[in-house]
Structure formats: C-alpha cells, structure tokens
Amino acid sequence: MRSNKMWISIMLMTIALLLTGCNRKGQSEKSRMDNLNKGLSTYQREQIQLNLPFRTLDGACFIDETAYFMGITQAEGREEFSLFQVLAADGTSESLPGYEPVQFPEGVDAYPVFCKLRPANDGSIWSIEQFVTISEQTGSNVLLLRQLNSAGQEVYRLEMKGLDDYQDICSSMDGTVLVNQGGGISFWDSNAKMQSKLDGQNIDREDFIILGDGRIGILMKSNDSCSLKTIDSTAMTWGESFSLPSTVSRVYHGGGDALFYFLDGDILYLMRAGSDAGEPVLNWSNCSIDGRYVLDFSFLDDGRIEVLARGSHGPELFMLTPSASQAEKIELTLGAVGVASNLRKMVLEFNNSNSLYHISVVDYEQGGVSHSQATTRLATEIVTGNMPDIVCLDGLSSRSLETSGYLENLWPYIDEDPALGRENLMLRPLQAAEVGGSLYRISDSFTIRTVAGSKETLGDKTGWTTADVEAALASMPDGCTAWGRFGTKQEMLFQTLYNIDRFIDWDRGVCNFDSEEFKSILAYCNSFPDTVAEDTTDPHGYAAICNRQQMLLPVSVSSPLSVVQDQTLFRNNVTYIGYPTNDKNTGSWFQLPTALAISSSCANKSGAWEFLRTMLLPRENIDPLHSFGLPINRKDFEQLMDLAMLSETYEENPTRYILLRNGNYEISYEGRAITLEEMEQLLDLYNRSTGLFGLEDSIINIVTEQAGAYFAGDRSLDDTVAAIQSRVGLYLAELQ
C-alpha cells in the first residue's frame, strides 16, 4: 500500500512545478492529452500500392490531390530520371507525358544520383536533379533546378556545377535561388552566380519550406530552442522568426489557412498568420502512422488525408479515412519521458494489429520542456491520480516507484500467460530487476554493462578490487592510464553508482553507504584528478586502448558483434573483468532498455498486459547484423547465438565497421561469425552478471553533493560517508 510519507515526498518534489504552472490551468498532462485527442479525429489507414518502375525512388510531393514521384529508371540500357503521378483515390499511376529527361552533350556520360521534389504555390513542381558527369576522364557533379508544369513540361532550368556541399535548394518568388550549405544560406542569380551568403547555425540537415504566403523558411534547432526563420531573398537577410517548442522535429509547407505546419511529438500543428501558437490538427499515432517519417500530406475536401511517408525502400503512399471505429476500442495511455523510436514502432504495430485495445502515447517532454521538468510532470500525474496505464521507466528514478505500490508485479502475468512462462525467458536480467521477489518492469532485450581489458594484463579474473586495478596498472607501459577519459573523480563516482542496488536494501528501506566497500571506492575516486584533457582525435579512447596507453574500457555488450569489436580493440585477447568491487563480485550488470511497467491504478490491466507481452514473445526475424540488445525471449536468444556462429550470415552481407578514423589512421573490423570460445565467453559473462544497471537521480544527487565536499578537501572520508548514510537513510525511510 502507498504510504503517506511517500505521497508527501513526491508531492514536495512536484510542488515547485505546480507553483510555476507547467500547465497554467492546473490541468494534468494526461488529461490535457486526453482532451487534445478528443478534439482530433481518428482515421483508418490504407496503404496505396505503388506499381512504379523505379530502380530507386527519392522524390515525392503532393499538388492538391495528386502525388508526384521521381526516381531512377532504366531506358535503352541507360539510367535516367522519370516523373510519375499517382491518384491516391484509386491508386492509378501514369508517367507525365510532358516530362523529358535531361539530355547531355554528346561525349558526356551522365549518371543520375539523387532527386527531390517540392510543390510550388502556383501548382507547378520544382525538381532538384543531381548527376555525376564524366567527360574526357574528368568527373564533376551537376545540379539542375527545374520548374515543371502539371504535365511535367519544363518551364525553367538552372544548372549549377561544382556545388558539392549542399542540403537543399529552393527558388524564391523573385527568382533568387537559395542553397542551404550547412553553415549558412547562399543566394544565387539566374546565371548560377553566387551573390551573397548568410551565416546560420543549426541548419545543416534542414530543408527549406514554402510558407502559405510564398515566403521561404527553414527550421533552426539547438539543444534548448527551436524556431522557423524566414529568409528575405531580396535583401538577402533573415526575415521574420516564429518561436516553436524545442521538441519540434519537423516543419512542413503551408497552404490555404496554414502559414506552415509543424510536428511536436506525434501531434501535427497548424500555424496561422498572426498567431504565436500552433493549433493541433491530428495525432499521427491515431492514424497508425509514425509521424517522424511523414514527408508530405494533402487534406482532401471530403475529409480524407493523403500522406507520403518515408519507407524502407523509398516513399510510401497512404490514404487516411475518418473513422469512428477507434472509439470502439478500449483506450490505454502510455507515459514516457521522451519516446524512443523502437517504442513508437511497438505502439504502432500493436495499434494496427489489435482489434480491442488502442495505445495513446503521452510524451512528457512534448512542448519543449527539459528532462527534469518532464520527470516532474510525470510525478505530478502520480500524486494527482492521473498516472498513465503503462509507464516507460527509462530516465526515471524507478526504484522509488517499484517499492511504493504504484506498479504491478508482472510475474503472475508471465506465469499465467500460456505463450510465455518463466521457462521461455532469459531469467537472469529479469531477476536482477526484482524488488523483494516481485518484478515491476520488463523489456524485450537486455545488455550487459561491464569493463573490458586484456587477458595478457588481467589474466582470467572474474572480479577484482580497486587495489587489484592499481596492481595491474603497474604492469602496463609508462604513461598508460587505467580509465582514460573516464578517469576523473566525478566520472569514477558515477561508474560506481550505476549499480546502486548493491548499497541499498529496497525491501527493508536501509542502505550501507558507511560500509568499508563504499569507503574504499570513494577514496579510490578521490585519487583521480578533477578533469582530464580531452583528446578530440580519440574521443572514445579506442586508439589509446590499441596502443596500450589505456588499460580498461567500460563497454556495453549488446550483441555477438560486441564481442568481435572488443576483440579488435584488445588484440583478440579480451576479457570482461567488470567494475572493481571490494568483495570481488563480478561488477557486471544487466541493463533493460525501454523498460515498461503497468500502473497499479490501471483500469484495464489485462489490456495493458496484452501490449507488454508482445515484448516477450518470439520475434519473426532475428538479425545478428543489426541487433542491439540481446533478446529476453529464450528461443530468440538461442537463435541469435546460432546465427552469430554461422560464417554464411556475414559472408552474404559483408560489412566493415569503422570505430575510429583520423586522417590515415583507422580502427575497424569486419563483421564475422563468433567462435565457440567467444560464445562461451559471452554466456559466462551472462551467468556471472548480477544486479541492475541504472541511476536513481534522487540518491545520486545526495551522494554527489556530499562527495563533492570530500573531493574538494573540505570534509573527511568518515564524515562524508556518515553524511551520505544519514541523508539517503532518511530518503529511504520516507519510501516505507
């Protein structure tokens, strides 16, 4: 049962946010999202099959109800660009009769490389067509900016040679051509001569958009700000700026009542002229579409929406039809502080396949708030009774939730599921996540966080102390460091706290930060400098490892290829010795990415489990070349190991992985099958790993604050651990 102390504790954490008004009307984030979704239509998605003859399909856009596609086709033994139109209403397609591929002079071999389409406000189309031309053994890049009418006939052309560094090209209403060259915008005249350049930051990967009034704009993003800036092509300066939430990921062309559209989370917003805030138009997740991949859309008069989205093999075309059928589904909410791409994919697949339940995602970072504000938003939901049905625990101090009755024990669901049961799962990662024998989180995969070194130096140890680290370092060449860039007081302290469970008994609500183990580790951290010089030529320390100038490397073993990579760095002699601990335990810990939990207050727990169980079921395809995370499902795990040992797996898809490239210096490895010895090494690491890797922000803040005085020489070691023990002990007592 939730304790009053826990309730008060969380309330105190959130009161600052409540006072400053995260939501000015006091409305909860979940309720706000619920009300927002109620005002947005839901749609049935139909994919329109594209029977187009392209070898590669790059360009796509809408003009009214017609979708236009441009790509590379084969014609009489040569490759050229072709332009097709598709009516999404019935899927019929035809090549545009007026379009003529670019012809180059005799003796010039031209090879199409890339193309892009953009709608113009007058109903015409702009195409960007890039070629590589070879003439008399001389090669060059040629860019053509072409304006095409609705029949595909060319009405304007500008040829730009030697422009290798560009992101996007666009023509303004006055005929000036704008080029995004990463560090700024350049302005070109009708003779392809550059007239001026406008400096600009944070636009290197952005495309131009055409606003509803004909102006050209571009999205500018930094870590904590976002805006759409217009460009005055006549004065060749920046124009009007529209401030947007920092979480906006994309902007789209305007038209009609819309000056432009923008995407924030899963919500598409419309910005009107004269307004300082967007109006929500639709929630892509209610359309069974991942909004991050939407390229263009067109609203039809009958209420339907045509959508172009990026697929695995080029643009895909969808028709969205308003539907009331989703209202018949049982609605469940999933709350997260930031939504990972794999989680979005899981939700979309579930919503598309399940006829009974629908998951709506509440992203607490939406709206441009900071991570700390987002976590406080979620804490506010908990104390005000608006906790989501399903919670993603990534980035949260989740042990506090797990020990206070807010989450469901998932073992009974697993045990009673006819397709699962514990015998069908890799249990050790889940057992590491237990609190008092109860399991409150699951994931579809796990990684192992450990420390790698060379057997030549470390031998076959499976655990060690900080004294052992110093002894091993003494055998290394002069100038070698143990930890490289990780070797600072604060960084070493964080490495220690990644498995904070070893210092806390969550069941009893007690801690042992006054133990000899923690004292020795804190003293070890204090032996390091405050900072180390950053080596920008070797940011990860890979070269230092290879050159025996760094002895150890914290690693995440997430696939069989992780072992191959570590073998490369440690001269085919890697050992996973783990982090140093005073009792010589393994020092290797499990991490559960995208861990999900069910709220105890969920009104439809069976529906929530219907979604969570999909993480534990066997996958359709196991790909050892692109897997990140070792499968929790036992059958999948065993299949991954079998495929990873087959040389055919890698011979059919030869891949070279670049770890470091600095001038002529390169560290890389070829994807290859792991040996029996390497597989046994991975399984041994699995069987030795204990505990859960993760951070508890509330406790981390206490420890780092108190340790800071010790590192600065203002407090003794004994006084420091006593203060940490007292502060953390009080915090844990509040959770009981």
Q: What pLDDT was estimated at residue 665?
A: 86
Q: What pLDDT was estimated at residue 117?
A: 92
Q: How many CA atoms lie within 13 A of 383 on its CB side?
A: 20
446-593+638-735 has the same fold as 4-42+329-442+594-619: yes
| H or E element that contains 345 | helix 341-353
Q: What pLDDT was estimated at residue 8?
A: 37
Q: What pLDDT was estimated at residue 204?
A: 60
Q: What pLDDT was estimated at residue 559?
A: 93
Token code pair at residue 36? 């927002």
Which of the residue ranges 52-56, 107-111, 229-233 has the most confident prediction, judged by mean pLDDT? 229-233
For 385: left if phi > 0, alpha if psi spans -120 to 50, otherwise beta; the answer is left
Per-residue pLDDT at 427 exceeds 90: yes
The string of pLDDT tens digits covering residues 571-610 is 999 999 999 987 656 789 999 999 999 999 999 999 999 9
Q: Which amino acid is at 304?
A: R
- CA pair distance 467, 464, nearest whole angstrom: 8
Per-residue pLDDT at 201 exceeds 60: yes
Per-residue pLDDT at 301 exceeds 80: yes
Report yes or no: 331 and 360 within 8 Å, Cβ to Cβ: yes
Residue with tokens 């499990």: 590
What proportion of the chain, given as a percentage, has pLDDT over 90? Answer: 49
Report yes or no: 491 and 482 within 8 Å, Cβ to Cβ: no
Q: Which amino acid is at 323?
A: S
Report yes or no: 557 and 447 within 8 Å, Cβ to Cβ: yes
Token code pair at residue 617? 């079921």
* Residue boundaries of the structural domains of the chain: 4-42+329-442+594-619, 45-164+292-323, 446-593+638-735
Q: Per CATH, the architecture of 446-593+638-735 is what?
A: 3-Layer(aba) Sandwich (3.40)
- CA pair distance 295, 314, nearest whole angstrom: 11
Q: Taking all residues of the chain, what is their mean pLDDT, rounded to a whole number? A: 86
Per-residue pLDDT at 16 exceeds 50: no
**Phi then psi dihedrals of residue 231, to 5 deg:** -125, 125
Q: What pLDDT was estimated at residue 585?
A: 65
The string of pLDDT tens digits covering residues 321-345 is 887 555 578 889 999 988 888 898 8
Among 103-117, 365-379, 452-466, the minimum mean pLDDT is found in: 365-379
- CA pair distance 408, 694, nearest whole angstrom: 20
CATH number corresponding to 4-42+329-442+594-619: 3.40.190.10
Among 8-17, 92-101, 413-422, 640-649, the minimum mean pLDDT is found in: 8-17
Classify 66 as helix, strand or coil.
Answer: strand
- Supply the pTM of this predicted model: 0.78
**Phi then psi dihedrals of residue 85, to 5 deg:** -120, 145
> In Å, how far are 193, 204, 217, 230, 233 from 189, measured between CA atoms?
6, 22, 19, 19, 11
